[in-house]
Amino acid sequence: MNREWRWILCGLVTGLFLSPHSHADSKLEFSKLDVDAVAPHAMLGAGFVHDRKRNRLIAFGADPAQSNGQNKAMSLLAFDLNANEWSRLKMSGSMPTADAKPGLAYVESEDALYLFGGWTGGADRPSADMWRIDLASDGALAWEAIPAKDSWPPARNGMVFVADGARNRLLLHGGDGGPHPQYGYTPLRDFWAFDLKRREWSRQFIDDNAPAARWNHSAAIDSINEKLYVFGGAGYVLYPKPERVMDTDIFVLDLKTDQWSKMPKSKRTPRPVQGTTLTFDERANALVVVGGLTIDGGKVPGTRRVYAFDLQRKKWARSKEILTSKRRDHVAVYDPVGHRHLIFGGHSVVEEGNFYRAGTPFSDTISIEVQRVDKE
């Protein structure tokens, strides 16, 4: 990694940090590092995962330079988090073509990727197709289409789609169900579970504590404490009256009970955003939010700050404006070996709240580190 510059900035957090190795007070410290590694091409709204077995980021999407309308040149890129190197994984045979906001999940017990939905550029609606690819295969990787059954989630893109390894299932929440004659898109609120052994979907019960209908939201799993966290997204509700969804709540799903709750509100919260990333930092015990398209009607679109929600104190912390560019619809994973958050792709924020106004695509890679240190 070429560390051309490094900013150390502090987001102050108050309260007692209950670690046996800490002092009474601590703060979160942010660092931004530029990684000397440029991807083979940019990706916008890609599906992405952390391949824990090989400690690498995997992103699936279209190669813009090789695509034309609905004729998509699909690409599977991998970034080795240990070596700081990009590569393109070879694929063969039939494969998904939904390049816009598909759901991608990594199942460690199978060493396989699962993909659901997404929207193929030029199509009139999103997909409900589901695919699987075995990463342990020799030679070119081949996608397997999973046949739909009677109980099956409706078509969508921009959903939360994650693997719950302890219960051998995939979880899906929300997304955009396609065009709406009045509002342009159809945010969804439904919550589904896919049994990996039976290969069957079942719709799950949700209560008022679950996120309202939304799409383009972000999620992170804390597998140690068995929690799923959801943040951001855009949507609307029609009852009891039409109203936009643009909250800054952190929603929590207890994976052991499937019960939803919300974190308490605090100061220094991020602005409402869609197309951001949420990653769980195991070392700092924090949720990290980077970038996104702001949707609250502010005069300044986007943000160059990094935010972290301290799960120990239930408070937000933030950096100064350390990001060189305001980006959205990018990807991010947490590197548990290097204790950093890798950010790749997306495009620049151009206009406040306008999802359809595309910016300049990015193919760079940056690294964010969050550390808990004692207050002086």
The pLDDT tens digits along the chain (376 residues) read 333 333 333 333 333 333 433 434 888 999 999 899 999 999 999 999 999 999 999 999 999 888 776 678 999 999 999 999 999 999 999 999 999 999 999 999 999 999 999 999 889 999 999 999 999 988 999 999 999 999 999 999 999 999 999 999 999 999 999 999 999 999 999 999 999 999 999 999 999 999 999 999 999 999 999 999 999 999 999 998 999 999 999 999 999 999 999 999 999 999 999 999 999 999 999 999 999 999 999 989 999 999 999 999 999 999 999 999 999 999 999 999 999 999 999 999 999 999 999 999 999 999 999 999 888 7
CATH of span 43-325: 2.120.10.80
SS (H, E, C) 157-195: ECCEEEEEHHHCEEEEEEEECCCCCCCCCCEEEEEEEEE
Q: Which residues contact 367 (CB under 8 A, 6 or more apart)?
A: 1, 32, 33, 34, 35, 338, 340, 341, 342, 343
The pLDDT, as a whole number, for residue 72 is 81
- How far apart (Å, rounded) are the C-alpha atoms in residues 363 and 41? 6
Q: How wide is the angle at C-alpha 254 spanned by C-alphas 251 and 260, nearest 5°? A: 45
- How far apart (Å, rounded) are the C-alpha atoms in residues 276 and 255? 23
- How far apart (Å, rounded) are the C-alpha atoms in residues 218 and 248? 12
The pLDDT, as a whole number, for residue 102 is 98
Q: Which amino acid is at 211?
A: P
The pLDDT, as a whole number, for residue 26 is 82
Entry pTM:
0.92
Domain positions in the chain = 43-325
